[in-house]
Structure 1
Amino acid sequence: MARHARARLSAGYAARRMSETRKKATAGTYFLTGYPGFIGKRLVEHIAREDPKAHIYALVQPKNFKEAQQHAARVKGARVELLTGDVVDMHLGLSGEEYQRLCERVTDIFHLAAVAQLGVAKETAWRVNVDGTRNMLELARDCGNLARFNYFSTCYVSGDRVGVIAEDELDRGQAFRNAYEETKFQAERLVQRAGATLPITVFRPSSVVGDSRTGEIDRFEGPYYLGILLVTSPLVVPLPLPGNGVAPLNVVPVDFVVEAVWRLSKDPRAQGNTFHLVDPNPMSARRVYELIAEKSNKKLPRFNLSARAADVMLRLPLLEKLARPQRAAISYVNHLAIYNCHNTLELLDGTGVRCPPLSSYLDQLVAYVREQYRKRREGSDEDDPLDSGIAQDAEGR
């Protein structure tokens, strides 16, 4: 449909404000962005199991449509309907009929789509993270049966703040270390403001790592995987940790995130609130590093590197290719931020959903990463970046 026609449709929908058309939802109809992303795929699977009579609409970029089709065909339970589009486009790139259908039927929105790479250009991050969220809020306002708008933010909207950070805090004059933090902050501001007229819930996960049962993850980025890289480097001696490593390294497994989001999205008490999806008792970066090194059968260096020196080290020829995405995460290893999760603990109390300690699933994470790096190195003349001790340890369990 031409842009001028879409504009007329938008004006018509805008006239039907949420407060005038709200109806009691009789069946779950879900609309999800960020599919078939790492968290998005698992959330779709979870919704389909928990609400098998529901209808799930998933917004998919054309370049990801084949992958989405393959995954959706394997989902058991609720029906998954794929819609080709993009959050950055007017009406999300949907036809007038598709957009109207969503407005009439959708009861729950899960907005996951985002550019999350730490080194992304600000212009790109702004277009997807901020403008895309603005477009999703417009859709939400046009949905007459909307029960909840669930927004995936990040605990790193706190920027360079240190100390204890509460769930109800957002703008505290912080600066930002990269475009990802800044644009997610600006996007959350839009969502929080929209909460005056929309039933919103904001989720702020820390660094999401692999499944606590299988270790599976699709992207090796962030401070946790930086630690794995450092101790499993191709060098004979593992690299020293950047800084002193006393700051907490807060990571959460993807299965906990999905289960927590689902529970809270259905809890009336969660409406209008923000939730830190974090490990309530994180280990220090140093302790995580030590545990990974132990599982690699390697001894730790007795000295530390400054963040600047670590960045230089990760540019060495043997490490540069592996470490390019992780260099941007160095600043997180020594950032003394403590994320209070009172809201999350209170509302999940008694549900059986809780964040497991990293020590309980670290074996699975390390084994999975090791296997993926092994596959990438097959046929290469370079040494396997992971010590064989991990394989022996994993097989011995």
Structure 2
Amino acid sequence: MHVFLTGATGLVGGALAGALLDAGHRVSSLVRGEGRDVLDMDGRDRIGALTALQGDVAQPGFGMAEPPAGIDLLIHCAATVDFAASDAVHAAINVGGTAHAIALARAWGCPLLHVSTAYVCGRADGVIGEAPADPHASFTNGYEASKARAEALVEAARRDGLVAAIARPAIIVGRLSDGAIARIDGFHHLFRLFGSPLLGAVPAARDAAFAIVPICHVIAGLMTMAADMAAFDGARVHLAGSAPFAMADMLRIVADYPGTVPARMIDPQVYDAAMLDRRTAMVHRRIGPQFFDYFLRSPCFAGDSLERIGGMSAPAIDDAAFRRMIDHCIKVGFLDWR
């Protein structure tokens, strides 16, 4: 199968490119700029094994001078995951990029596998099913909102005849077996702060939890979907752990590591930013708008699409698995609590 992949220089795209190549598929990938790498789940650079094409998802036709032919499947992973990016950037890359992916899939006559996020649910809490995203819901940030708008474009294109499926990864963390992850970003920066004296007391619900998912499950799920797009046509597939991981448990585990000064969860009703010391207040001003809203909820992403169609069940993430993820980050020098 000849797969056209966007976002190969990112976390999910790199791991997926490696899996596709290892499975014997031909991969053409959109790459913006020179000197980029495509890191698989073992951290190997696979850019030399695929066909790299210069372009930009924000441009019609992805800005490619010579679009490839003979594409069997378009997998759209490219997105900006910067919560603080402007609405214009989210619109151009996350929404516009999806519109351009749809147009190319139609031109090539191939299915589209769109990689979204479980958090298109916005501020919804509790059990969340694999229903269509509501672009008018209440969102924590522009990233969530833009991904919901992008999903709406995919849904409309499918109603118009395009074979398409949507994958919704939750918060991506390290591999289940050893905690390894090729690119450390996003959520990992947050749990570094969980062990740092810089965070202090944060407003959090007593039952706050994060829907995390190992990168290996995300890639296995995407590979399963890519292998049978006819069966997954119209599906919205949650890629998440079997249960959310409690914030209190994360902090308890972090506290076991030498050099940590774990953050403390306090009732949001008594949180008073005016009472913070200067350094902590600065940290809270910087990360609060991006993350504090996630400390108030415990979403559980339900749905049986992956198991019913592809025979894959959601993985359980226990304390030992979370410790392996921390241990990997210490090993590679990312966590420096000592």
TM-score band by shorter chain is: 0.7 to 0.9
Aligned counterparts of 2:276 and 2:240: Cα–Cα separation in 1:
28
- Residue 287 (structure 1) shift: 1.9
- Residue 155 (structure 1) shift: 1.1
Q: Which amino acid aligns with 1:274?
A: R
- Residue 330 (structure 1) shift: 1.7
2:3 is equivalent to residue 30 of structure 1: yes
Gaps of 5+ in 2: none
More helix by share: 1
Aligned partner of 1:216 in structure 2 is 181
Aligned counterparts of 2:86 and 2:269: Cα–Cα separation in 1:
22
What aligned pairs does 1:234-253 form with structure 2 within 5 A after superposition?
A: 234=197, 239-253=200-214
Tell which deviates more after alignment, 206-215 or 296-305.
Answer: 296-305
- Residue 215 (structure 1) shift: 2.8
What is the aligned-residue identity percentage? 22
| TM-score, normalised by the number of residues in structure 2 | 0.86
Query: Does structure 1 conserve the Cα–Cα contact (< 8 Å) formed by 2:15 and 2:39?
Result: no
Aligned partner of 2:93 in structure 1 is 128
Gaps of 5+ in 1: 1-27, 376-383, 388-397
TM-superposition CA deviations, 1:265-290 (whole Å, max 9, x none): 21332111110111122232222222
Query: Number of aligned pairs?
Result: 333
Query: Does structure 1 conserve the Cα–Cα contact (< 8 Å) formed by 2:211 and 2:241?
Result: yes
2:168 is equivalent to residue 207 of structure 1: no
Query: Does structure 1 conserve the Cα–Cα contact (< 8 Å) formed by 2:9 and 2:39?
Result: no
Given the superposition, is the C-alpha separation of residues 292 and 348 from structure 1 closer, same or farther in structure 2, using an over 3 Å criterion?
farther
Q: Which amino acid aligns with 1:58?
A: S
2:317 is equivalent to residue 362 of structure 1: no
Match of 2:16 among 40, 43, 68: 43
2:46 is equivalent to residue 86 of structure 1: no
Match of 1:59 among 30, 40, 43: 30
Aligned counterparts of 2:256 and 2:155: Cα–Cα separation in 1:
44
Match of 2:121 among 138, 158, 166: 158
Match of 1:180 among 139, 143, 149: 143
Given the superposition, is the C-alpha separation of residues 328 and 114 from structure 1 closer, same or farther in structure 2, using an over 3 Å criterion?
same
TM-superposition CA deviations, 1:193-213 (whole Å, max 9, x none): 111211101011111112332
Tell which deviates more after alignment, 246-255 or 310-319.
Answer: 310-319
Given the superposition, is the C-alpha separation of residues 70 and 341 from structure 1 closer, same or farther in structure 2, using an over 3 Å criterion?
closer
Aligned counterparts of 1:313 and 1:363: Cα–Cα separation in 2:
33
What aligned pairs does 1:1-397 form with structure 2 within 5 A after superposition?
A: 28-50=1-23, 52=24, 54-62=25-33, 65-68=34-37, 74-75=45-46, 79-95=49-65, 98-99=66-67, 101-102=68-69, 105-144=70-109, 146=110, 148-171=111-134, 173-196=136-159, 197-212=161-176, 213-222=178-187, 225-230=189-194, 232-234=195-197, 239-267=200-228, 268-296=230-258, 304=266, 306=268, 309=271, 316-317=278-279, 324=286, 328-349=290-311, 354-371=314-331, 384=336, 386-387=337-338
- Residue 66 (structure 1) shift: 1.2
Aligned counterparts of 1:226 and 1:73: Cα–Cα separation in 2:
26
Given the superposition, is the C-alpha separation of residues 163 and 116 from structure 1 closer, same or farther in structure 2, using an over 3 Å criterion?
same
Given the superposition, is the C-alpha separation of residues 70 and 241 from structure 1 closer, same or farther in structure 2, using an over 3 Å criterion?
closer
- Residue 242 (structure 1) shift: 3.0
